[in-house]
């Protein structure tokens, strides 16, 4: 446990409110006080499950502490607990020379890929491949850094002849989601699994009958509740580490696995469209 002297303002704020909380809110508050370093990596669903309360209790506590929501609370907690050097890579130090720095960062990325490989459920992966192979249209959804991954995913599937779309504008995302059908697949990409816009758009897609695939690092997060298939990737990322390249590499690795698998199933069609798209841009290169 962290002593009172070591507590940041967020934890001290919780302790000062303890007596005015309901019994269930006190349970959550005490769990946070006992496990602050773990909280910044958890989703609201995971925290609620570990504390043995409902998600609404966690959200109500956050509001009582004058935070806009759980993510706002986590950001404040992370600012209290995380040292600046931890924002980069866990074992990197200011004394590292360029060669050592290269080795450590590269090792982090390799470890992330290896852990993602071990984490992927083969049954869920096979289901995802089958859904994408049979899809009339594939629509990728993500915001922020995951939105960029969604754009790359749509590009890679378009290159093998699978009609694919992705937009960085959440209004356009909502419109695209609402126009899908039961012959289509919506893929939601979210490291935390808690991105509101992504989850809302997946819910819109689900109402049309589209199948939902979620790519996330958190098996206990809101996005998994709407998904038909969940593919887990490794990204231990706190609120101050958004857009980490290690996490993006893990996301792209899963996208690449799916793309290669679908390419192998379509074979001649995939090769044909790769040639067509390659010729289409050939005159744009020197």
Q: Under a CB-based contact definition with an 8 Å cutoff, are residues 28 and 50 in contact?
A: no
Together in a domain, 220 and 262 = yes
Q: Tens digits of per-residue pLDDT, 146-186?
A: 999 999 999 999 999 999 999 999 999 999 999 999 999 99
Residue 90 falls within a domain, yes or no? no
- Is the Cβ–Cβ distance between 254 and 116 less than 8 Å? yes
First to last CA, the chain: 62
Q: Are 223 and 190 in contact (CB under 8 A)?
A: yes
In this prediction, residues 89-109 reach a mean pLDDT of 77
Task: For 148-207, give the DSSP string.
Answer: HHHHHHHHHHHTTT--EEE-SSHHHHHHHHHT--TT-EEEEE-SSS--HHHHHHHHHHHH
101: tokens are 């720095």
CA–CA dist 115, 165 (Å, integer): 29
121 and 243 housed in the same domain = yes
Q: Which residues contact 234 (CB under 8 A, 6 or more apart)?
A: 112, 115, 116, 119, 217, 250
The pTM of the whole model exceeds 0.85: no
The three-point CA angle 148-120-259 to 5° equals 50
- Domain range for residue 108? 102-282
pLDDT at residue 210 tops 90: yes
Q: What three-state secondary structure class fits 286?
A: coil
Residue ending a domain, among 81, 112, 128, is 81
Coil, helix or strand for 247? Answer: helix
Q: CA-CA distance, 134 to 137, in Å (whole number)?
A: 9
Is residue 181 within 8 Å of 205, Cβ to Cβ?
no
Percent of the chain with pLDDT over 90: 52
Q: Are residues 63 and 111 in the same domain?
A: no
| CATH of residue 177 | 3.40.50.10490
* Confidence band for 188, pLDDT divided at 50, 70 and 90: very high
Tokens of 45: 């669903």
**156 and 275, same domain (yes or no):** yes
Query: Domain boundary residue among 81, 112, 129?
Result: 81
Mean pLDDT (the chain) is: 87
Say if residue 260 is in the same domain as residue 144. Answer: yes
- How large is the average pLDDT for residues 70-80? 87
Q: What is the pLDDT of residues 104-121, one digit of tens each?
A: 888 888 888 888 888 888
Which of 81, 113, 138 corresponds to the end of one domain? 81
How many domains are contained in the chain? 2
Same domain, 53 and 128: no
Query: Does residue 97 lie within any of the structural domains?
Result: no
Q: Considering the domain boundaries, does residue 4 fall inside one?
A: no
Together in a domain, 43 and 175:
no
225-267, pLDDT tens digit by residue?
999 999 988 875 555 555 578 788 999 999 999 999 999 998 8
Same structural domain for residues 72 and 30? Answer: yes
Name the more confident of 246 and 144: 144
CATH assignment at residue 59:
1.10.10.10
């Amino acid at each position: 446990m962290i002593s009172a002297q070591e507590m940041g303002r967020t934890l001290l704020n919780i302790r000062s409110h303890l007596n005015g909380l309901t019994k269930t809110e006190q349970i959550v508050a005490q769990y946070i006080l006992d496990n602050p370093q773990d909280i910044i990596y958890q989703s609201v669903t995971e925290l609620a499950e570990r504390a043995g309360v409902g998600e609404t209790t966690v959200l109500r506590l956050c509001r009582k502490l004058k935070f806009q929501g759980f993510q706002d609370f986590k950001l404040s907690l992370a600012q209290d607990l995380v040292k600046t050097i931890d924002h980069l890579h866990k074992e990197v130090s200011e004394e590292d020379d360029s060669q050592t720095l290269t080795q450590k960062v590269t090792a982090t990325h390799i470890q992330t890929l290896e852990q993602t490989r071990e984490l992927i459920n083969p049954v869920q992966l096979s289901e995802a491949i089958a859904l994408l192979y049979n899809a009339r249209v594939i629509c990728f959804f993500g915001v922020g850094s995951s939105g960029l991954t969604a754009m790359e995913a749509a590009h890679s599937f378009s290159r093998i002849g699978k009609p694919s779309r992705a937009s960085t504008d959440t209004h356009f995302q909502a419109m695209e989601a609402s126009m899908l059908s039961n012959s289509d697949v919506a893929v939601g990409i979210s490291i935390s699994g808690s991105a509101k816009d992504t989850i809302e758009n997946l819910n819109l897609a689900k109402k049309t009958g589209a199948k939902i695939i979620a790519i996330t690092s958190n098996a206990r997060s809101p996005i998994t509740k709407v998904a038909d298939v969940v593919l887990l990737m490794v990204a231990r990322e706190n609120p101050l580490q958004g857009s980490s390249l290690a996490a993006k590499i893990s996301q792209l690795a899963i996208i690449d696995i799916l793309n290669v698998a679908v390419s192998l199933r379509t074979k001649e069609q995939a090769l044909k469209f790769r040639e067509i798209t390659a010729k289409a841009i050939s005159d744009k290169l020197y």
